[in-house]
Structure 1
Amino acid sequence: MPKDVNEIEKHRNRTIVLRKPRSTDGSAIWDLVRACKPLDENSMYCNIVQAEHFRDTCVVAEMNGDIVGWISGHMIPNEDALFVWQVAVSPRARGLGLGRKMLEHLIGRDACAEAQQLNTTITKDNEASWALFRSFAREVGGELSDKAHYKRDLHFDGQHATEHMVTITLPEEAGATSAAA
């Protein structure tokens, strides 16, 4: 019996709420990104602006009132594509499928309804990101492709690994299915 009680308590303490960010979340988002290596750190101001200006295409995940997940994204101007800039999941919320849940939640939003594809960039050695986006593509029934995009020497002056543009086609029903979930 104690094992069952512990299991129930464990799940109760891991109730996740997904929502649009607020500008007042910027500091907590900044702290989360800093704790999620190898993500590039932006300024706290950048995270505040993202949370305010792009709130319809970003998502935070809360657990017991603390921000434990973050996706920053935006619709690419003049394209039917959602660009995901960063995905951060706190170490204490890992193993719950939170990254994929946040992506599914995001594509179900009205602001992303016109997206026919999701784009992101990933370095070849970022195994966690590759696993997340492959899992997401499988879940929504989308096709995943990639090619070198922001190149080490051409774009980063040799100081950052090449970023591969990952494109996932989004079936029309993907957003509707996610919104209903």
Structure 2
Amino acid sequence: MSDVRWLSAEEQEIWRAYMTANVEFSAYVDRQLRRESGMPMAYYEILVRLSEADGRCLRMSELADASMSSRSRLSHAVAALEKNGWVVRRPADGDRRGWVCELTDTGFAALAEAAPGHVTAVREKLFDVLTPEQLLTLRDVGRAISAGLREECDAARAAGDDDADPPC
């Protein structure tokens, strides 16, 4: 494999620092939500996306894309959210194959109760430890990485790779 562009020592350090921070931060936020609100980060993200949607509902396919979840993983999560009374699923109007997920008042209340602790955790462990310049750089880096993956992710969706885990 002479054509492999191996990482330099500095690039390896950057890669490992990024991966460590990403994994640790995600785990911290998930633990905080589970401990204080009884829901994992994935459920919180679904509730947020529904709360921001018109009529607090989205087609399941749109919700999967918005919450960066595979359709099968989303289906399992929505089933658990339904058991809590936080969402309801119903057939989409005029489309026998499509389904819509709607945030209930109980779900909205659970989200509203979870939000202050979640925002505090994000503020303390992300925004308060970085300078304003670093935050702008972090935003730009995130956008650049996403843009670099967009073509591949669009192709995976077009090929019907809806259950890729983690999803594009």
What TM-score do you get using the length of structure 1 for normalisation?
Answer: 0.27
Structure of greater relative contact order (alpha carbons < 8 Å, 6+ residues apart): 2
Point out the structure with max Rg over C-alpha: 2
Hey, which of these two has a bigger chunk of strand by percent? 1
The structure where helix makes up a greater share of residues is 2
